[in-house]
Amino acid sequence: MGEDELVIDPWGSAQSTDYDRIMAQFGLTPMDRLLLPEPTKLHRRGIVFAHRDVDQVLEAHRTGNPFGVLTGLMPSGQMHLGHSMVVEQAKWFQRLGGDVTIAVADLESQATRGIALQKGREVALSEYIAHYAALGLDPQKTNVYFQSTRPVVQRLGFQLGKRTNLNEFESIYGFSGETNLAHVQAPLVQVGDILHPQLDEFGGLRPVVVPVGVDQDPHLRLTRGLASKTNWFNIKPSSARGMLVSLSIHDENAAAFGQLPNGRVDRERVGHVFDRVVEAAERLGFSDIISSPKQGHVHLPSATQRDTHGLRLELLRLEREMGGLGLLAPSSTYHHFAVGMTGDKMSSSQPKTTLFLRDDLATVEKKIKRAFSGGQPTVEEHRRLGGNPDIDVAYQYMMYFFEDDDAYLAELNSAFRSGALLAGEMKQRCIDSATAWMKNLQERRDETAHLVNDFLADDSR
Ligand code: TRP
């Protein structure tokens, strides 16, 4: 690993906000707001700033095909504003027609934070799911489950563990010889979390998107790599034109692909596999199909990059028919973190850095009054030089959480920058918005409290 390579530690308290560098190093794609249907404030304001393969989800939405959303929560501590951002995005995907699955990471929080499973369950329901309900997720289209009581996620993690090794964990997570093995097992279970909704008994093959903060990207890189490594068929652009489909032979498909134990090849068997690839291409409407088992590929000269997604799904279906897992690498979206109220990182263990969703209104007011300000030290200087809304917590929290009205926000921004709006006035605006938002949340929490159990999947009640 190069010296200036960045390693993100999803359990660490350091938080890299060098988003450009993260994007470049890990190959995230900038989010193109203009492509998004009914964008939320998080999208309109560029807070959701990057993605991997979100196109396959938007295409499913456009073509009326199913897609899923998966997110997970650590049932420890209290839920704060930062946690609500994923809920906002899950709601948006749900409005667009996605089904939502929520993993309660009780195994992870037991292993990495010492929270007993029973305690994790209580916290998940009374603190997290109660707020997911209040924030407006639809219980009819949401399934909450516990890692500890859904064996298939553990099994999948175990099974896919075979396709990675400690070197990969070292390079993805920065592990060393002292690393506790809980930090090896937890990511594998999380791989199971992310991939299992595609299994037939959990909704079947479809794109699944995972909205996260960049701190969780290591888990996505791991999961995407592992899913791809299990695939039986590869698709790549042909150097001539069109696309090539080839077989990816490994021990799980060697027999099905006619690789005999003595090292010889069962040509008839291979020919049959190629025929099935040709049929899959025909089902997609291709007529120009050149099958060359000897060269090891099926060539689709008229296929373009845009056909890749449909082709991949069809080949994953074929893989499943032939006995494979047929897993599609998950999509993901990434959001910026709101700054902590003190100007540092937002953290549940530092109550002054954030607003908890159960903070009372007096506490909310007090925290905002004391929040880090982007104003000048004196009124005179502020009037003369103007303030900086980019680092002003009151402004930032209206932008991230409390204020839906883009025009009002733009007004506050320019008034603050010009010095017309004072730091204290900005804080008062924020207190007003926050108070309205928190009051509404409290009311919704009371109204939806009885729905919490409706969110639970049948295996988790
Ligand atoms: N590791 C996540 C956290 O620290 C929780 C989690 C578990 C999760 N499984 C997940 C997040 C799947 C996203 C997707 O908060």
CA of 223 to the centre of ligand 1 (A): 12
Q: How long a stretch of residues is the chain?
A: 461
Strand partners, 189: none
Does the pLDDT of residue 203 top 70, yes or no?
yes
Q: Is 426 in the pocket of ligand 1 (CB under 6 A)?
A: no
Burial status of residue 239 (CB atoms within 10 A of its CB: 0-12, 13-18, 19 or more): exposed
Whether the Cβ atoms of residue 54 and residue 107 lie closer than 8 Å to each other: no
Whether the Cβ atoms of residue 74 and residue 113 lie closer than 8 Å to each other: yes
Whether the Cβ atoms of residue 312 and residue 59 lie closer than 8 Å to each other: no
Which residue type is seen at 253?
N
Q: Is 209 in the pocket of ligand 1 (CB under 6 A)?
A: no
Does the pLDDT of residue 346 top 80, yes or no?
yes
What is the structure's pLDDT at 3? Answer: 55
What is the structure's pLDDT at 11? Answer: 75
Q: Is 76 in the pocket of ligand 1 (CB under 6 A)?
A: no
Q: Positive or negative CA dihedral for 428, 432, 433, 437?
A: positive
Q: Is 187 in the pocket of ligand 1 (CB under 6 A)?
A: no
* pLDDT tens digits for range 103-157: 999 999 999 999 999 999 999 999 999 999 999 999 999 999 999 999 999 999 9
Nearest CA to ligand 1 atom 12: 72
What is the structure's pLDDT at 15? Answer: 67
Report the SS3 class of residue 247.
strand
For the record, the structure tokens of 18 come out as 């060098």
Closest approach atom of ligand 1 to CA 73: 5
Q: Where are the alpha helices (DSSP H) in 141-266?
A: 151-161, 166-173, 182-195, 217-230
- Nearest of 105, 345, 92, 335 to residue 213 by alpha carbon: 335
CA of 52 to the centre of ligand 1 (A): 17
Nearest CA to ligand 1 atom 4: 74
Q: Considering the entire predicted model, what is its pTM?
A: 0.95
Q: Hunting for tokens 């890299």 — which residue is that?
A: 16
Q: How many CB atoms lie within 10 A of CB 287?
A: 8
- Nearest of 372, 375, 366, 357 to residue 415 by alpha carbon: 375
What is the structure's pLDDT at 1? Answer: 47
CA of 35 to the centre of ligand 1 (A): 27
For the record, the structure tokens of 252 come out as 């799980």
Banded model confidence at residue 67, pLDDT cuts 50, 70, 90: very high
Provide, rounded to the nearest whole percent, the portion of the chain with pLDDT above 90: 92
Residue to mutate, 79, 185, 190, ligand 1, most ligand atoms under 8 Å from C-beta: 190
Q: How many CB atoms lie within 10 A of CB 245?
A: 26
Banded model confidence at residue 311, pLDDT cuts 50, 70, 90: very high
* pLDDT tens digits for range 290-304: 999 999 999 999 999
- Nearest of 172, 207, 201, 204 to residue 186 by alpha carbon: 172
How far apart are the C-alpha atoms of 386 and 381, rounded to whole Å? 7
Does the pLDDT of residue 6 top 90, yes or no?
no
Q: Hunting for tokens 């396959």 — which residue is that?
A: 56
The enclosing H or E element of 409 equals helix 406-418
* pLDDT tens digits for range 224-266: 999 999 999 999 999 999 999 999 999 999 999 999 999 999 9
How far apart are the C-alpha atoms of 424 and 191, rounded to whole Å? 46
Q: Is 218 in the pocket of ligand 1 (CB under 6 A)?
A: no
Banded model confidence at residue 51, pLDDT cuts 50, 70, 90: very high
CA of 420 to the centre of ligand 1 (A): 43
CA of 299 to the centre of ligand 1 (A): 40
Q: Is 195 in the pocket of ligand 1 (CB under 6 A)?
A: no
How far apart are the C-alpha atoms of 5 and 261, rounded to whole Å? 43
DSSP string spanning 233-244?
EEEEE-SSSSEE
Angle at which helices 151-161 and 217-230 cross, to 10° = 70
Whether the Cβ atoms of residue 101 and residue 202 lie closer than 8 Å to each other: yes
What is the structure's pLDDT at 7? Answer: 79
Whether the Cβ atoms of residue 68 and residue 101 lie closer than 8 Å to each other: yes
